[in-house]
């Protein structure tokens, strides 16, 4: 079996983001990304309505106000490719596979949406910083988590119907596999890769899988990591366009609590018997989220650093500077603005990113 990140979807329409050759896979063993495969090709989109997240149905407008749509700018406007959740007035939690390799200046965050293609600009926010887990591995799809910092707090736009989702209470949080869970997103609603994304937010119940059952369905008998959880896609499933979408539960108080973020799927089809949807476990990453929030606030308050004779390219251990904002810390928190990554010296200087 083949494991494919949620950010990778169709080799045939990969938008020059990634190719079949780069994935080194056989056509007969092609696996689709779990909930959200990869960013959906904006040129492929059709505005026709569809039914739901696979096995689900349209949710009531603005019922889950913490879910956001990540949209990539293109000549036709913006196109949905992933989702995320609001955890503060300016912070969105999503998966690293959604943001890996993207210029944050080309991404807009749609907040308070039901119809993802609204023309109301008040719903869209620019991304100021993207902090990804420093140990994110795109091939193995581990440490698949990222924190986005918005350029403007959504609370400044009082007409928006938006809210923050609660984070798990502690790192050791244990989840009962028989308890009720929900998932929601704008991903495809069938295994047909030619199907257009739904215009309206879709929701479905989800069945958590015991770790042992999940491990048995993973490729190469690789055990499920403590940082991951699984849902059974036999009846309901996340699919292309759902990457970064939340799995959540409702507390007795009525508040919604984040359980996981859609990461990847095993196998060719999203929904299938004996398949598996793998998610990033929110509770496991609580310490990382705290560190990422600190890095974000540091970046927001840092003054620009002008290039002088004493500040050169060598000053930045993990990025190449163009003289405006470049910082590297030895404690594992790294962020940069308008810098190039070490492994791609020809990258655009406009990329805003960070690692935590």
**Band of pLDDT at residue 251, cut at 50, 70 and 90:** very high
**Residue, of 163 and 240, whose pLDDT is higher:** 163
- List CB contacts of 138: < 8 A, sequence separation 6 or more: 5, 96, 97, 100
Judge whether residue 34 has pLDDT over 50: no
- For the ranges 173-177, 230-234, 340-344, the lowest mean pLDDT is seen at 340-344
The confidence score (pLDDT) of residue 190 equals: 54
What mean pLDDT comes out for the span 88-116? Answer: 91
Of 3.90.1180.10, 3.90.180.10, 2.40.10.10, 1.10.1040.10, the CATH number of 1-301 is 2.40.10.10
Q: How far apart are CA 347 and CA 343, in angstroms?
A: 9
Q: How far apart are CA 195 and CA 188, in angstroms?
A: 7
Judge whether residue 259 has pLDDT over 60: yes
DSSP 8-state code for residue 41: -
Q: How far apart are CA 250 and CA 101, in angstroms?
A: 34
Q: How many CB atoms neighbour CB 20 within 10 A?
A: 15
3 state SS of 349: coil
Q: pLDDT tens, 208-222?
A: 999 999 898 887 767
243 close to 6: Cβ distance less than 8 angstroms? yes
The confidence score (pLDDT) of residue 344 equals: 55
**Band of pLDDT at residue 60, cut at 50, 70 and 90:** confident
- Judging by beta carbons within 10 Å of its beta carbon (0-12, 13-18, 19+), is residue 351 exposed, middle or buried? buried
Q: Write down the domain spans for the chain.
A: 1-301, 305-355
- Per-position DSSP letters for 107-170, written without gaps between them: EEEE-S-SBTT---GGGEEEEEEEEE-TT-BTTTTBS--EEEEESS-GGGSTTS---PPBPPS-
DSSP 8-state code for residue 88: S
**Residue, of 267 and 171, whose pLDDT is higher:** 171
**Residue, of 87 and 34, whose pLDDT is higher:** 87
316 close to 272: Cβ distance less than 8 angstroms? no
**Band of pLDDT at residue 41, cut at 50, 70 and 90:** very low
What mean pLDDT comes out for the span 265-282? Answer: 78
236 close to 56: Cβ distance less than 8 angstroms? yes
The confidence score (pLDDT) of residue 233 equals: 76
Q: pLDDT tens, 325-341?
A: 444 433 334 444 444 45
Tokens of 64: 């889950």
The confidence score (pLDDT) of residue 155 equals: 94
pTM comes to 0.75
The confidence score (pLDDT) of residue 70 equals: 95
275 close to 207: Cβ distance less than 8 angstroms? no
Secondary structure of 213-277 as H, E, C letters: HHHHHCHHHCCCCCCEEEECCCCCECCCCCCCCEEEEECCCCCEEEEEEEEEEECCCCCCCCCEE
- For the ranges 69-78, 117-126, 194-203, 265-274, the lowest mean pLDDT is seen at 265-274
């Amino acid at each position: 079996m083949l494991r494919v990140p949620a950010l990778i979807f169709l080799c045939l329409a990969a938008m020059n983001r990634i190719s079949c050759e780069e994935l080194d896979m056989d056509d007969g063993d092609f696996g689709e990304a779990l909930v959200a495969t990869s960013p959906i090709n904006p040129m492929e989109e059709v505005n026709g309505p569809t039914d739901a997240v696979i096995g689900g149905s349209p949710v009531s407008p603005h019922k889950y106000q913490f879910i956001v749509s990540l949209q990539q700018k293109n000549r036709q406007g913006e196109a949905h490719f992933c989702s995320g959740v609001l955890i503060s007035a300016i912070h969105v939690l999503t998966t690293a596979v959604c943001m890996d390799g993207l210029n944050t200046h080309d991404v807009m965050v749609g907040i308070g949406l039901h119809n993802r293609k609204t023309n109301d600009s008040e719903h869209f926010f620019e991304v100021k910083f993207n902090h990804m887990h420093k140990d994110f591995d795109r091939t193995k799809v581990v440490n698949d988590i990222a924190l986005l910092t918005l350029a403007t707090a959504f609370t400044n736009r009082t007409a928006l119907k938006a809210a923050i989702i609660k984070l798990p209470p502690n790192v050791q949080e244990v989840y009962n596999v028989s308890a009720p869970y929900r998932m929601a997103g704008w991903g495809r609603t069938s295994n047909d890769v030619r199907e257009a994304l739904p215009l309206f937010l879709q929701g479905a119940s989800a069945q958590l899988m015991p770790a042992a059952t999940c491990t048995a369905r993973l490729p190469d008998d690789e055990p499920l990591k403590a940082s991951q959880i699984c849902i059974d896609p036999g009846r309901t499933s996340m699919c292309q366009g759902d990457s970064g979408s939340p799995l959540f539960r409702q507390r007795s108080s009525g508040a919604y609590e984040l359980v996981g973020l859609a990461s990847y799927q095993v196998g060719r089809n999203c929904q299938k018997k004996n398949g598996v949807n793998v998610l990033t476990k929110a509770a496991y990453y609580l310490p990382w989220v705290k560190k990422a929030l600190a890095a974000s606030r540091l970046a927001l308050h840092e003054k620009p650093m002008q290039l002088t004779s004493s500040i050169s390219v060598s000053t930045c251990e993990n990025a190449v500077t163009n003289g405006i904002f470049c910082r590297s810390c030895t404690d594992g928190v790294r962020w940069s603005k308008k810098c190039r990554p070490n492994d791609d010296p020809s990258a655009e200087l406009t990329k805003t990113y960070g690692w935590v």
